[in-house]
Structure 1
C-alpha cells in the first residue's frame, strides 16, 4: 500500500503547530521592565512584532511603538554646523595703482643784474626761492657788501657796486675782461628753532666786457638726487601715518619734496571690533635720524594737539577741517635742519583714539588746533578748546593732568625718511619783473 504525498503534508503542519517559539526579550522605551513575547501559530505572525535594531544609531526600535520611532528620529536628526569663529584682523585695502609724477622745481627768476661801464646793478627779490618765505635782508650780501636800497612795494633788495669793489675777481682773456661777483645768502633758523625753510644760496654774477661791451650771464643749478621711501607703522588699533597726494585720495608714491612745499600727512585708526573712534595727534617731532630722541629735534605739534609750527616760524602749517572721525589731516611746510649734511627728516607722532561722543567731541587734552590769522582755531567744532595752546593744556590748579573720560588707545607712529630739496634762484639780465 502506497503513502500519498497529501498525508505527509498534514503531518508536518501538525508538528509545527505543536511547537512554541522562544522570542528575545526587549525593553520598550515606554515601559520600565523587560517583556517576554511568546506566541503560537504561523512563524510570519510572530516575526511581525519583533523589535528592529536601527543600523545607524544601534537603538532597538519597535515599529508599533510611537515613542520608539520618535527616539529614532531624534537620534538621526540633522546636526547644526557651528558658524562662530574668532574675529579676524581686518585686511588693509589695497590701493589702486596711482599715476604719480613728482613735481620738479621750476627755476625761479629772482635775481637780475645790469652791468654798466664802471659798476654793477643787482636786484634781488626778497622771495628769493619763490616759496613765499621772505628772506632776512641782513643774511644776503654781494661779495660781502650789504644792500644799498630796497623797493618795499615790490619786495626787492637793490645792490649797486663799482666793478673793482665787493671782492670782485677780474679775469682777462684774449677777447674780453670778466668781472665776477658772488651773491650769497646764508640761511638762518626760524624763531630760535633748529630748522630752516630756505636753504643757503650762492649765485655767480659775471660782467663781460668785450670790444662791443656785450653783457651775458650764466645760471648755476644744483643736481637733484631723487630718493623715495615710505614707511607706515601699525599698533594695537592699526594706527597709521601716511604721506598723501595733493587731492588726499591716495598715499603719495614718492617722499620727495622741496623747501616751500606743503607735506600732506594723514593720521588714521582702523576701527576693528570697536565702537566708532575719533583720532587725535597729541604731539609730533621731526629729527634728522630715525631715533625720535635724536638731536637736533624739532617739536611742531605739542601741548595735546597744538600745531605750533605756524606760530613759531610764520609758516602755513595747519590742521584741515575734520571730515571723518577716524581720520585727521594736516599740512606741514617742508624744512631742513640747520648745519646738517643730510636733507632727510623723520617724523614721529603720538596718536590716540577715543570713542566718538556727541556730547563732548573735544576737550583740552583731545583737540586739533592750528594757529592762523593770529588766533587758534580747531579742526573740529569748538575753538574754545584751543584757548590753552599758549599756556599749558590739561593741567588743573594742582598741576595734575585732567582725567580721561572713558577708554583711550594710543601709540607712537613714524614716517620717513622724507627728502627735502632746495629750490635754486637764477638771475637774468635786466630788472626783476
Structure 2
C-alpha cells in the first residue's frame, strides 16, 4: 500500500470518528485536532492575561554599580477591593502628592496569580472551561462515564458534543451560537452563563444525571478602582434663545410685501397679507420647497385655544377662498417662502368688545419641488367653481373637497405663529358698525317680497356655494 492509500484511509478514519459527535442545535466550531485547539486557546488567553498585567519597571544604574536590579513585581492591572467607609478618603483625588497609608500599600502590592499554576490546577478537574471574548470551550474527561455513548446525552445548553478524543469530550462553541447562552451586564463584570446537562434516556442508568452551570466572567474595570470620583457641578444658568424647529417664520406684511413689525389694526373685511418662509441660511436641499399644510386664526396666542377658524386646510387648500374671493395664495419668487392673503375677520362670540386681538398659526413642512396632493398650494376659483394650483398641475387639488390623506407623517412639520393684530369694529369707511344685529321691524323677511326682475341674478345663484 503506497502513501496515498494510507493517507486516504487515515482521513476516512478521522472523518468517521469525528462525525459521530456532530449534530444537535448547531455544530459549533470543528477543528482537526481539538486537543491542539484547546492548548492554542490556553496560550492565547495566557498571553492576553500577561499583557493586562502592569508593565515591568526598568531601573537604570551607573555602570560602576555592582548590585543586580531586582525584577519588578507583576501586579494586576485592576483590583476589586472592599473599602470601609472611613477609608474612602485615601482614594480621593487631591492636588499635589501625599504618602499612601500602609494598609493601602499592601493591597496594591498584591501580586497576580500565576497563570501556569492556575492552569495546572484546572487540568486536574473533571470539567474544564476556557472563556474568551467570543467563544466558550468546555471539555469533560471520558473516564468518568461508564458507556462510550455518553456523548449522546451530554448538552451545553441546547448544543451537543461536537468533538472528541480518547481522553475528552469537547463542546467548542462561539457565543453567537444558539446554545442558550444567558448574558448579563453587572457593575464589575459581564457574565455569560449556560447549563451543562447530562441526562441519559436509557431504561437503565450507568452513571447519575447531572446539571451544572458553566459561567464565564469578563471584568469591566481595567484602569480605575471601584471607589469613584464624583465632581460637584457649579455655575449659574445661561439663557439661550429658542429657535423654531426648522427656522420658519410667519410674518404679517403690507400689500407691497414689506414686513409689518409693530402692532397693526385692520378694519373688518380689509385684506391682510402674510409670508411664511425659511431664512436662506437654514435652507435645505435645492430640490425642496416650503409648503403650508394648514393655517387657522385664534383669539389667543395658544394655538390649542378655542374658538379657532380654519383659513388653509387639507394640506394646502385655501378653504377661506370659498367664502371670500380676496383670500388666496400669492406668487413668490422664493421656493423657501409662501405668501397668502385673507380678509380681516372677527369671532362672533366676542362681539361685545370694540376690537378683537387675533393670532395666525400655520403648520409648515418641506416637500419636493413638484407639488403633490399633500404638498401643494390651491386657490378656489369662484367663476369655474374649481380648485386651481398656484404652481404645478391642477390635478393635485382635486382632493380639496374631500380628504387629502398622507401616506406617512411628515418628519419636518412645524407649527409657527405670527404676531398679533387687531380688528377694529367701531367704524369702516366712515360708517358706524353696530356689534349687534337687529331687524328694523318684526316682519319676517321673505324672498317673494323682492322685485323678481330686479333681483333675478340674486335668486338664480341663491343656492350656489361660494
TM-score range, shorter chain: 0.3 to 0.5
- Structure with larger RCO (C-alpha < 8 A, sep 6+): 1
Structure richer in helix, relative to its length: 2
Normalised by the length of structure 1, the TM-score is 0.39
Q: Please, what TM-score do these two structures have when normalized by structure 2?
A: 0.37
